[in-house]
Amino acid sequence: MSTQITFLGIGLMGDPMARRLLAAGHQVTVWNRTHAKAQLLGEAGARPVAELAQAVNGAQMVISMLEAGPTVQLVLQAALPALSPGALWIDMSSTQQAEAQSFHALLTAQGRRFIDAPVSGGVGGAAAGTLAIMAGGSAEDFAAAEPMLAAMGRATLVGPAGSGQVAKLCNQLIVGATINIVAEAMLLAQAAGADPAAMRAAIRGGFAESKILEVHGQRMLERNFVAGGKVATQLKDQRNILAAAQAAGIVLPLTELVTARYMTLAKTIPQADHAAALIGLEQLNPGQRVGAAPDQLG
């Protein structure tokens, strides 16, 4: 049985995620601030709607995949008067924990429901339906959402509202730091006279193996920095990680260093892939460069 879903935010991630829902047989209404992006999904069977209130009217579930917490807040508040009683809002954007908790409080006070369900896996994972989905909310609401989330990836309930964002920040903490570590390994191999590609092949399968070494290590060798995950987005995540740490009363010294590296990189190439951390590292080491290929920045 299909569920009437409204999907808000048809961007790099939202487009393939909405297509997975359509492929699973769900009725999907789509809305985007730039309506032309929503219209592209009409050919795939979606119902593009230009007005936000009309888009959410009658929806059993609303899924938002928007730029950041402040954008989610604006869209949510604008949509709330037209939102059906008991409707479940699933925010799959990356926001701060406190923002997710405030969205939950606002919706429940108005007789609606809320889950924060940010994702990891990038555009490739969205297209393949293999996203890691980290959900925060009640067990009842998660059970209602899980069949829809299953069309987009593997969903796990990690705690009450806001916990999905905490899990996503933990994910991004590991991603951001590991990208920088892989970049350092690549540059060290190059500078010390080893073949970076052969070094990477040699250590794969050992304790240093990771998705970052596999995917972003290859990007660095090819110098392919066309954005999957952007430097600017990673920097936003890094700042949210530090905000969560401050709220929890802990210090994360390595994350502070990684954040500083992405702050520097964001001044010049904010739209490049976050694997461009290698470029920032090379700038600290004049005359050293991994590979001979030209940089692809997009």
Mean pLDDT over 5-15 rounds to 93
Structural domains in the chain, CATH included, are 4-160 (3.40.50.720), 166-284 (1.10.1040.10)
- Kindly report, residue by residue over 173-189, the tens digit of the pLDDT: 999 999 999 999 999 99
pTM value is 0.83
SS (H, E, C) 6-74: EEECCCCCHHHHHHHHHHCCCEEEEECCCHHHHHHHHHHCCEECCCHHHHHCCCCEEEECCCCHHHHHH
Q: Which of 168, 211, 236, 267 is catalytic?
A: 168
Measured CA angle at 134 (ends 132, 138), to 5 deg: 145
Question: For residue 228, what pLDDT is reported?
Answer: 79
DSSP secondary structure of 127-196: HHT-EEEEEES-HHHHHHHHHHHTTTEEEEEEESTTHHHHHHHHHHHHHHHHHHHHHHHHHHHHHTTS-H
Question: For residue 92, what pLDDT is reported?
Answer: 96
Question: For residue 140, what pLDDT is reported?
Answer: 96
Is 90 exceeded by the pLDDT of residue 250? yes
Question: For residue 2, what pLDDT is reported?
Answer: 60
Mean pLDDT over 100-129 rounds to 94
The letter for the amino acid at 161 is A
Q: Which residues, 6 or more positions from 205, have their beta carbon under 8 angstroms from its beta carbon?
A: none
| Residue found by looking up tokens 């005359």 in the block | 287
Residue 168 annotated in active site: yes
Question: For residue 121, what pLDDT is reported?
Answer: 86
- Kindly report, residue by residue over 217-235, the tens digit of the pLDDT: 999 999 999 987 899 989 9
Question: For residue 162, what pLDDT is reported?
Answer: 94
Q: What is the mean pLDDT of the chain?
A: 94
Question: For residue 4, what pLDDT is reported?
Answer: 84
Distance, CA of 196 to CA of 291 (rounded, Å): 8
Is 70 exceeded by the pLDDT of residue 1? no
- Kindly report, residue by residue over 53-111, the tens digit of the pLDDT: 999 998 999 999 998 899 999 999 999 999 999 999 999 998 889 899 999 999 999 99
* Nearest residue to 15 via CA among 123, 161, 171: 123
Helix or strand or coil: residue 106? helix
